[in-house]
Amino acid sequence: MAGKDPARSKRLQAELWAPRLNAAEGHRARVIVLVDMARARLSENDPVWEALDLQLGKYLEQSLGER
């Protein structure tokens, strides 16, 4: 597209989310911010959602099975 600068767009996105990421205390809070970022940027059918679903599902299944 004429007039669009992808590098500038990425930089602006990083600046927008940086305060929330930096303010996140602990892994849980950081993951929540990262998921919010992904929800804002990725489409419903992006392959990252399937990968995240599988990995998180496996982890939770293992951790719940150990209790």
Name the band, by pLDDT with cuts 50, 70 and 90, for residue 2.
low
Half-sphere CA count of 4, side-chain side, radius 13 A: 5
Identify the three-state secondary structure at position 5.
coil
pLDDT at 5: 85
Q: Answer for the pair 26, 34: CB distance below 8 angstroms, yes or no.
A: no
Q: Which of 1, 43, 2, 36 is nearest to 16 (CA)?
A: 36
What amino acid is encoded at 62 in this protein? Q
* pTM of the predicted structure, to 2 decimals: 0.71
pLDDT in tens, 8-51: 888 888 888 899 999 999 999 999 999 999 998 899 999 999 99
For residue 19, what is the enclosing H or E element? helix 6-23
